[in-house]
Structure formats: structure tokens, C-alpha cells
Amino acid sequence: MQLLDTPASRPQTDGREAGRAAPRPRPGVFQRLWAGRRSYLYLTPLMVLLVAFVLYPIFGSLIYTLYSWNGIGSPQNFVGLDNFRQIVHDSIFWQAVEHTFVYAIIVVPVQLLIALVLALVLNNKKLRFSAFYRTLFFLPVVASPAVVGVVVQLLLSNFGDTFNNWLMDVHVIGRPVDWLGNPTIAMGVIIVVGIWQTLGYNLVYFLAGLQTIPEDVYEAAKIDGAGRLRTFRAITVPLLRPVGLMIVILAFIGSFQVFDIVQVLTGGGPYYGTEVVNTYIYHLAFGGTMDTATQPDVGLASAASFFYGLMLIVFAVLQVLIFRSIAKRRGAGPA
């Protein structure tokens, strides 16, 4: 018990010291609560915010899933699990899930590969200006995703035609491409922007991971005559694995929550062609997309959100299990 000693709490402390000398019952609950009153006071702002805006909403949204409700007034029309049934049978929801997964499954590996290569190059102690290069590649991270979306629209509005003409000249395409009007190509643009914007996080994560590998391990490998590739496979990869797993998991979590760039670049359009789960839920909760005006349905939106949350938990558990089985198989094999 290293109670913080303040003038006010001194009698309390004295009491306990006396108690330690002669076996006496611990101070009563109320005394201890009173002694901790300053601690409670200091905790209050955090706890109020946490309970009101983090914990309550998680459980509050669960109640909305049982109502058909347009968000005005209080929910009246109890529909039981009907919202969940509707979501499971909504083909647009499953399209949105598919788009989100396609986004994540392309963005995560491509981005992590580039980030890892870059981190390996920048981690070289003999490379000068390494911190400067890191800053260059990190910078898009601090740009607002919404503004990045605007900038990309700006670029496409301008050089979209130039780029089209250029591609037609070299016969890559037969006719002009509508960059954000064609769902497949728009999704490609979103993916490229996604990779560009968040690569910096993974670069810094990988650099941090590489720096945890002690220099003398590399020295030892060099003395043993291990080549570059051998060193990478026998030292860097296994020692980077714990941090690497964390990076993969974080990258997937982030990708599954993509919203800003999609909303700004395409709004989920054309005709739900690039709708991801978070834009789908947004459109359900706050009204239609640019293409289609619909009545907001908060109950349905909450159900979709909750259902997607459950899907992500299942995915996270699967991910951990897969990683664990891979690790086990490697551990069991010959060293």
C-alpha cells in the first residue's frame, strides 16, 4: 500500500501504521473511501466521458436494433429481430461487405510489403538523412483523409483527361476511362489512395520493430558468414514476427473501418458500386446517397453496425487462431 501522503490523509496513514504494529482490523470501507476522495475526484472527468460516450453507446445501440425508427422522437415501433433479418437478406449490405474485404485484402499486403522494404532500407545505420526520408514518406498520414479525397478529385478532374489521352496513345485503353464513374476503377482509385495515405503508420511500426533487434545478433551472423538474404530470413523475419503480427492485425482493423476517403471520393456510388460497410451504415442512419434518397432508419443502421461488429470479432479470433497455428507448426518443425 503506497498511499500518496498528503497532509489531509496523514491521520489515515498514521492509523494504519499503528495497525501494522499491533494486529488491528484494517480501516473501515468508509474511511478508505474518504481517504481516496481526491483520487475519485481526479477520475471523475474520465469516467463520466467514458461511461457516457463510450460504454453507454455500445449498449444503447443494441436497444435500437430492436426498433424500426427514423431517428426522430423516441423509438416506438418494436420489431424484435426483424432488422437483423432484413440486413442478412439485403444484397447491398453483402456487396458493401465484399467491397470492404476487397479493399482490406489488397491494401494490407501491398502496403505492408512496401512499408517493410522501405523500413529495411531506412533502418541501415550507414544511410544518412534516414530521418528525412522517413518524414517524406510519413507525411500523408497527417493529412486529413477528407482533404486527401478532395485533392484526388482535383487531380482526376484535371489530369484525368490528360492521363486518358496518354493511355490511349500507348494503346493501354481503347476509350477514355471515367475514373470515379466506373465502379471497378473507382474502387481501384480508393485502394491506391488508401495505401498511400496510411503507409506511414506501418513504416514507423516496422522501423520500431527493427530497432528492437539487437545489433550484436547481426554482428554474430556476419561473423558466421551469413549473407544478406540468409540474415534476413534467419534473423530479421523471426525476430520481427511478434511486432509484425501486431502490425498486420492493426492494418486489418483500420482497413475494415474505412469511411472518409470513400465518402469523399464516391459517396459509395455509382449505384452502390463502391459502397463499404461504414458508408452503407451512414446512409441508412442519416439518409440517402447522392444517387438515391431514402428515409433514415436508425434501427436498421444499428443492426447492420452490430452485425458487422460481430463479424469483425469472428474475423479477429480467426486471425489470431491462424497465426497461432502457423507459429506452432513452425515451432514443431526442425529449427
* Site for other proteins contains 321 (CB under 8 A): no
Is residue 272 helix, strand or coil?
coil
Could you say whether residue 313 binds other proteins (CB under 8 A)? Answer: yes
Contacting residue, 167, 217, 243, 248, with other proteins by CB under 8 A? 243
Nearer Cβ to other proteins (39/325): 39
Site for other proteins in 82-121 (CB under 8 A): 120-121
Cα three-residue angle 188-159-203, rounded to 5 degrees:
50
State in angstroms the smallest separation of the CB of 311 from other proteins: 10
Q: Does 28 bind other proteins (CB under 8 A)?
A: no
53/335 with CB nearer other proteins: 53
Strand ranges (E), the chain: 67-68, 77-78
Maximum Cα–Cα distance for the chain, whole Å?
Answer: 95
**Cα torsion angle, 259, 264, 265, 271, sign:** positive
Q: Are 269 and 289 spatial neighbours (Cβ–Cβ below 8 Å)? A: yes
Question: Which residue among 19, 24, 58, 109 contacts other proteins (CB under 8 A)?
Answer: 58
SS3 77: strand
Binding mask 254-293 for other proteins (x = CB under 8 A): -----xx--xx-------------x--xx--xx-------
- The DSSP bridge partners found for residue 67 are 78
The C-alpha cell of 152 is what?
484526388
Q: One-letter amino acid identity for 298?
A: V
- Per CB under 8 A, 171 contacts other proteins: no
Stretch that binds other proteins, among 52-60, 85-93, 94-102, 176-184 (CB under 8 A): 52-60
* Contacting other proteins within 199-238 (CB under 8 A): 201, 204-205, 207-209, 211-212, 227-228
Nearer to other proteins, 119 or 187 (CB): 119
- Secondary structure (3-state) at 269: coil
| Binding range to other proteins, per CB under 8 A, among 76-84, 93-101, 197-205, 323-331 | 197-205
Residue 306 is a binding residue for other proteins (CB under 8 A) = yes
Nearest distance from residue 258's CB to other proteins, in Å?
Answer: 11
Check: CB of residue 141 under 8 Å from CB of residue 201: yes
User: Hey, is 330 helix, strand or coil?
Assistant: helix
Compute the distance between CA of residue 290 and CA of residue 295 in angstroms, rounded to an integer: 13
